[in-house]
């Protein structure tokens, strides 16, 4: 039989029987013996010599038929009496006792209640009633082991953990709190004084509860939810530290009850993490500055090359013709001024891109006109590389909300990338070197799509890093890995989106898809862009759809 509640009535009956048995007549003794046989606990009578003079069926079930045998031999398998036998002391003390013992052979545990007893002849004996508590004992041992395991886990955590009552008095805590706060961490003290969670008040009375204005404990007690707070405190060793405090309310297990009955506090030292975060932020600022410097150098390379070409051409003309017509000189100087203005605009745009504030004004820009302007610049380079550029950008497309100079930058970068990708395509055998520029309207999203595709090898690597700064597949070819990063930054700055396709459905190479926001009605007509091959005249490559720069 397990459980004290179940054994209470049996014990009372045995105690009454022990006191009344000696005066009972034979019929009463027989009735009592039958009742004892039905009891779930073992019952045994032992005389002064430790000999078993009576036992019930339950005793025989546990230890076998043992009448006449010594109790220490029958129950424990010993050859001599136990060194201490509490039950036999009742022969002189005339009182009851309770003891627990475990049979080593079977592992069964018993709780034994012993009472003084006198048989019909007046001989004094001991009446023992043993209740099987094996299950209870094993449950207790498992619970103790579980508590030890949880204690070992919590004591080896890198965070401080404490259990508190609703008055915020510490009922239990791990060793981490003691290491951090030393003598300030004591059981039954209020956690505010121990953790120094930012409270500036002093407790006037031990039974008075005070809360900080933003106390997470008080908030958890009020709404039954977890809360957290970051604050600075002083450790016993190590000086000032930054801590993250998390409160977890403990609610009753019974449904329908929401009242918080206890609180778990978790305290984490985040000083090292914050330092790493600050270092990371500083590193990112340096990286941004490097990207800005590299981006400026990358972008002004195009107009600088054009400047070099125009100045060199003008110088050559002057050497050949001392009396160069003023109109020709003005034309060349206008080209030079245009490229110089473009460099100034690029620097201003790059600054706005990094700052993400203010920014260059966005206006309605004709996509067809922008493509036409870029093709005029890129014409010569395409001819030298034997690349055919096909254009399908209807003049009827709505204008896009953009910056004209920035849009030209984007197109130059994408075309340069595509041309670089086509360098790996032989002039004969696989097919022609071709770039397709196509524009279309997306009425469902009020956007205009610009597609730039090539017939190169396509993208064989993943595209998840293609727009990252300084990421390039042009190893050893001077690529800085900034071209597509700048394109991505400019397109998103206008409120647009850009995506990449590894293999174009028509040309087979890579393709970039730009979805640009519409600017509304166009202010005037724009000349149509020719569908013939267009090949620009100068500049450096930036990396392409097939090879990323």
pLDDT at 423 over 90: no
pLDDT tens, position by position, 190-219: 776 555 554 433 333 334 456 666 788 888
Return the pLDDT at 462: 55
The helix (H) or strand (E) run that includes residue 230 is: strand 227-234
Relative orientation angle of helices 26-38 and 4-20, to the nearest 10 degrees:
160
Res. 175 pLDDT band, cuts 50 70 90: confident
**How much is the mean pLDDT over the chain?**
75
Average pLDDT of the residues in 226-231: 88
Contacts of 174 (CB under 8 A, 6+ apart): 151, 154, 155, 157, 160, 161, 162
pLDDT tens, position by position, 22-39: 555 666 666 777 778 878
Q: What share of the chain is helix, strand, coil (3-state, %, to 5)?
A: 40, 20, 40
- The residue ranking higher by pLDDT, 168 or 289, is 168
SS3 452: strand
- The residue ranking higher by pLDDT, 353 or 306, is 306
pLDDT at 93 over 70: no
Least confident interval from 269-283, 347-361, 478-492: 347-361
**What is the rounded distance in angstroms from the CA atom of residue 236 to the CA atom of residue 173?**
17
Res. 306 pLDDT band, cuts 50 70 90: confident
Average pLDDT of the residues in 431-460: 88
Return the pLDDT at 515: 93
pLDDT tens, position by position, 499-548: 888 888 888 888 999 999 998 654 333 333 333 334 433 333 333 334 43
Return the pLDDT at 318: 76
Contacts of 224 (CB under 8 A, 6+ apart): 249, 251, 258, 260
Domains and CATH numbers, the chain: 4-137 (3.30.450.20), 157-269 (3.30.450.20), 275-355 (1.10.287), 363-517 (3.30.565.10)
Return the pLDDT at 283: 65
pLDDT at 442 over 70: yes
Res. 279 pLDDT band, cuts 50 70 90: confident
Kindly provide the b/e burial profile for residues 25-39, where b requires at least 16 CB atoms within 10 angstroms of the residue's own CB.
Answer: eeeeeeebeeebeeb
Average pLDDT of the residues in 459-470: 65
% of the chain surpassing 70 pLDDT = 70
Return the pLDDT at 253: 65
Return the pLDDT at 17: 56
pLDDT tens, position by position, 110-146: 998 888 877 667 778 888 889 999 998 889 888 888 8
Return the pLDDT at 246: 92
Least confident interval from 303-312, 391-400, 537-546: 537-546
User: Which span out of 164-168, 182-186, 391-395, 487-491 was modeled with the highest average pLDDT?
Assistant: 391-395
Structure tokens at 284: 């990112």
Return the pLDDT at 440: 92
% of the chain surpassing 90 pLDDT = 11
Return the pLDDT at 335: 76
Return the pLDDT at 83: 80
Average pLDDT of the residues in 297-310: 70
Task: Answer for the pair 21, 53: CB distance below 8 angstroms, yes or no.
Answer: no
**What is the rounded distance in angstroms from the CA atom of residue 183 to the CA atom of residue 498?**
61
Res. 449 pLDDT band, cuts 50 70 90: very high
pLDDT at 292 over 90: no
């Amino acid at each position: 039989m397990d459980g004290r509640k179940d054994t209470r009535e049996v014990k009372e009956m045995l105690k009454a029987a022990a006191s009344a048995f000696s005066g009972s007549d034979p019929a009463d003794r027989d009735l009592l013996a039958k009742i004892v046989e039905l009891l779930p606990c073992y019952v045994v009578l032992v005389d002064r010599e430790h000999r078993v003079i009576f036992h019930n069926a339950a005793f025989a079930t546990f230890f076998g038929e043992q009448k006449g045998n010594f109790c220490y031999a029958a129950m424990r398998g010993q050859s001599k009496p136990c060194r201490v036998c509490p039950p036999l002391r009742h022969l002189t003390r005339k009182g009851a006792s309770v003891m627990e013992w475990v049979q080593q052979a079977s592992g069964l545990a018993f709780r034994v209640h012993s009472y003084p007893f006198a048989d019909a002849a007046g001989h004094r004996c001991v009446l023992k009633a043993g209740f099987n508590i094996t299950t209870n004992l094993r449950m207790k041992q498992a619970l103790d082991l579980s508590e030890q395991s949880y204690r070992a886990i919590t004591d080896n955590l890198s965070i401080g953990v404490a259990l508190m009552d609703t008055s915020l008095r510490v009922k239990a805590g791990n060793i981490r709190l003691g290491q951090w706060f030393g003598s300030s961490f004591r059981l039954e003290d209020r956690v505010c004084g121990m953790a120094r969670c930012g409270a500036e008040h002093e407790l006037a009375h031990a039974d008075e509860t005070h809360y900080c204005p933003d106390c997470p404990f008080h908030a958890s007690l009020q709404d039954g939810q977890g809360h957290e707070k970051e604050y600075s405190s002083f450790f016993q060793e190590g000086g000032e530290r930054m801590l993250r405090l998390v409160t977890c309310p403990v609610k009753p297990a019974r449904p329908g009850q929401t009242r918080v009955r206890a609180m778990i506090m978790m305290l984490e030292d985040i000083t090292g993490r914050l330092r790493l975060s600050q270092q990371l932020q500083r590193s990112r600022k340096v990286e941004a500055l490097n990207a800005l410097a590299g981006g400026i150098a990358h972008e002004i390379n195009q107009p600088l090359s054009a400047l070099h070409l125009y100045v060199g051409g003008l110088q050559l003309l002057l050497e050949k013709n001392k009396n160069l017509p003023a109109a020709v000189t003005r034309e060349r100087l206008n080209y030079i001024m245009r490229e110089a203005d473009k460099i100034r605009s690029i620097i201003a745009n790059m600054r706005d891109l990094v700052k993400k504030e203010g920014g260059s004004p966005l206006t309605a820009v004709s996509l067809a006109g922008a493509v036409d302007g870029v093709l005029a610049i890129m014409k010569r380079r395409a001819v030298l590389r034997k690349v055919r550029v096909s254009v399908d950008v209807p003049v009827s497309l709505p204008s896009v909300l953009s910056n004209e100079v920035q849009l030209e930058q984007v197109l130059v970068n994408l075309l340069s990338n595509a041309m670089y990708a086509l360098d790996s395509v032989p002039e004969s055998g696989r097919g022609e070197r071709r770039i397709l520029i196509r524009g279309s309207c997306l009425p469902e999203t009020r956007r205009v799509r610009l597609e730039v595709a090539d017939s190169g090898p396509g993208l064989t690597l993943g595209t998840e890093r293609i727009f990252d700064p300084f990421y390039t597949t042009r190893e050893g070819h001077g690529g800085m890995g900034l071209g597509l990063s700048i394109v991505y930054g400019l397109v998103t700055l206008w409120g647009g989106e850009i995506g990449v396709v590894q293999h174009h459905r028509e040309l087979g190479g890579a393709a970039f898809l730009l979805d640009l926001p519409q600017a509304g009605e166009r202010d005037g007509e724009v000349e149509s862009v020719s569908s013939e091959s267009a090949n620009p005249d100068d500049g450096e490559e930036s990396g392409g759809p097939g090879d990323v720069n």
